[in-house]
Structure 1
Amino acid sequence: MQLFSETWAQAYCQKLNASEAYQKAAATWEGSLALRVRPDPSQGLPQGVAVVLDLWHGACRGVEVVEGEVEADFVIEADLATWQEVLEGRLEPLTALMRGFLELKRGSLAALAPYAQAAQELVRVAREVA
């Protein structure tokens, strides 16, 4: 299944909804999260692409794949190779954020901090889909 495709995004949302660990960890999360791949014409992504998740109290209420710029409460961006490393378990997201491989383009780390466990579950579930 191709990362950041419509099929992958739908499977991700469904797996989040089936995850009791995510539901518990994200019980108070309200807002949208975009996982965005930076533009890269050599990868067939001239405008970039994002998976935008509508997250609400431990549920994924919806998901869409958006080309180009994206609107979301939180936007995390990286090149495709970095996302592949994260989703294949070869690079931890926190390490990637601290080293600048993943970049929080919208939202703040302070606002995300209370949801650290939910963020870990988001990554764990994404790895299952990938």
Structure 2
Amino acid sequence: MSEFKSDQYGPCTVTIKHGCPIELAMHIMGGKWKGIILSLLSKSPMYYNAIRREIPGITQRILTLQLRDMEKDGLVAREETNDSPKRVLYYLTDLGENFVPILKSLKQWGNIYIDKQEEGLKK
């Protein structure tokens, strides 16, 4: 699991065991690309290069770091092929699958927010 320090997120988070679950979830999902990566993997397992092609602007280094974080946190698993060169297939774990409805809710809320902001600009 990601390192989660009490002084990093204020008084609510003394330890992982006794911390604020919302802050813990936000910490685990922190990062510009994690939501997008999980959304892609929620549709089907994907090879590393396919994920990278689907996310314009992400660097190889950042994608690797984000995938490693999510693997360490138990959201994503990887499977190496015996191909030459080796390929790595990523897929959601059960824990990652449990997060998919939350992603959908976040997307829905984001669309509502965008609509409200656009309405405000028209006035």
**How does the TM-score come out when normalised to structure 1?**
0.28
TM-score by length of 2: 0.29
Compare the two structures and name the one with the higher helix fraction: 2
Whose radius of gyration is greater, 1 or 2? 2
Structure richer in strand, relative to its length: 1
